[in-house]
Homo-oligomer: A and B are copies of this chain.
Amino acid sequence: MKLFTVGPVACYPEVLEAMGMQMMSHRSKEYIDLHFETVEMLQAFIETGSPVFLFSSTGTGFMEAAVRNCVREKMVVCVNGSFGERFAEVARANGRDVVAVVTELGEPVQPGMLEAALEAEPEVEAVAITHNETSVGLINDLPALTEVCRRHGKLVFVDAVSSMGGTTLKVDEWGIDICFSSSQKCFGVPPGLGVGSVSRRALDVSAEMPGKGWYFDLKVWERSHAARKGTPMTSCIPQVAGLNAALKMIEEHGGRQWYFDLYEGRNAAIREGVEELGLGIFPLEGYESPTVSCVSAPEGMKGPDVYNAMRGRGYELAQGYGALKEATFRIGNMGWMPGEYIDGMLGALGDVM
């Protein structure tokens, strides 16, 4: 099956080789070296001096961590689709009040909407933003939104699950307190690893937070990081090795800008191809995601029909998600993807329509 999924995505050969390595102790010198080399490459990649933690969890584990460590009562959650909804659900499941800033489906959060919410609810402690909303294939204007948060002095949590690695993230310059992602998206590594940076300010808030639990206690993670012990509980070693291999592969090709250009090229080829087939890209023009295209289903077909027909031809796309399940299907361009796959996929799509 040739994967155009939105995660897990197909993995690079170097990554799969690393995944199959024999184990080592997570307290051995070999692992500690691997761990901190990976952390330092990630810090450089997302432009931060803050510690980066490698959770044995999916990206959602970082949502839980952000809420439990850094919010006592109330937070704003920007919602463009299913993963913004998930952040709100995680906050509510932890007993926090949520002020939801909800857009029409396919539209970005405008800075003015966030500004209005923060003026109406000045006591909120933090703002959660989905950088790239995977469910609708939309990217928000993150620096414009973080600027509003900074001006109001709020903590900023960014769900960068389907953007980190695939497009620019300037964590320190944009003032992001917790910026997290997962291994199985733009880095082209199997799932199981949550990665995220945590600012000094967020750690200081966590230090005073009651009842935050242990598994995702950011201060527990900070202590292990500061003592150069790696992870406080057993590390998800194969995925750390896989991520290390992916980051080195990117470095060898010239660094992150080369990788962003590669993704942009794939994404443009897919968008042009589907538009030539007469299909529309769902989100508002100018806000199309650089990593996943959400495509309106052709006349007379539902999204799941397209998905199933494409599977029959050897291509695994992604189904529409949530409210858009029937009306759309999605085509990811993350991970390992030989150039000729794209032409083949577009040809098959033309055939099944």
**Roughly how many angstroms separate A190 CA and B192 CA in the complex, as a whole number?**
11
Q: In the complex the two chains form, is B56's CB within 8 Å of A57's CB?
A: yes
Listed stretches A38-46, A142-150, A212-220; interface member: A212-220
**What is the CB-to-nearest-CB distance from A153 to chain B, in angstroms, rounded to a whole number?**
27
Note all chain B residues with C-beta closer than 8 A to A23: 3, 8-11, 184, 190-191, 335
Q: In the complex the two chains form, is A234's CB within 8 Å of B20's CB?
A: no
Copies of this protein chain in the complex = 2
Note all chain B residues with C-beta closer than 8 A to A316: 24-25, 28
Note all chain B residues with C-beta closer than 8 A to A10: 22-23
Per-residue interface assignment for chain A, residues 218 to 255, with 1 indicating a CB less than 8 Å from any chain B CB and 0 otherwise: 00000000000000011111110000000000000000
Note all chain B residues with C-beta closer than 8 A to A236: 190-192, 236
Note all chain B residues with C-beta closer than 8 A to A21: 16
* A93 at the binding interface (Cβ < 8 Å): yes
**What is the CB-to-nearest-CB distance from A6 to chain B, in angstroms, rounded to a whole number?**
9
Listed stretches A58-66, A106-114, A166-174; interface member: A58-66
**Roughly how many angstroms separate A237 CA and B190 CA in the complex, as a whole number?**
7
Number of residues on chain A facing chain B (CB within 8 A): 60
**Roughly how many angstroms separate A47 CA and B293 CA in the complex, as a whole number?**
46
Note all chain B residues with C-beta closer than 8 A to A182: 234
* A27 at the binding interface (Cβ < 8 Å): yes
**Roughly how many angstroms separate A251 CA and B215 CA in the complex, as a whole number?**
34
Q: In chain B, what residue has the closest Cβ to A318? A: B25
* A314 at the binding interface (Cβ < 8 Å): no
**What is the CB-to-nearest-CB distance from A79 to chain B, in angstroms, rounded to a whole number?**
15
Note all chain B residues with C-beta closer than 8 A to A28: 1, 316
* A68 at the binding interface (Cβ < 8 Å): yes
Q: In chain B, what residue has the closest Cβ to A21? A: B16
Note all chain B residues with C-beta closer than 8 A to A24: 1, 3, 8, 316
Note all chain B residues with C-beta closer than 8 A to A191: 23, 26, 56, 234-237
**What is the CB-to-nearest-CB distance from A84 to chain B, in angstroms, rounded to a whole number?**
14
**Roughly how many angstroms separate A80 CA and B231 CA in the complex, as a whole number?**
24
Q: Shortest 10 CB-CB distances between A and B: which pairs?
A: A20-B20, A192-B236, A95-B211, A93-B214, A8-B23, A64-B215, A90-B214, A192-B192, A191-B234, A58-B233
20 cross-chain CB contacts under 8 A: A1-B24, A3-B23, A8-B26, A8-B237, A17-B20, A19-B238, A56-B191, A57-B57, A58-B233, A63-B214, A90-B213, A90-B214, A93-B214, A94-B214, A190-B236, A192-B192, A192-B236, A215-B216, A238-B238, A238-B239
Beyond A7-B234, A90-B214, A236-B236: 4 further Cβ-contacts under 8 Å? A10-B22, A16-B22, A57-B215, A182-B234
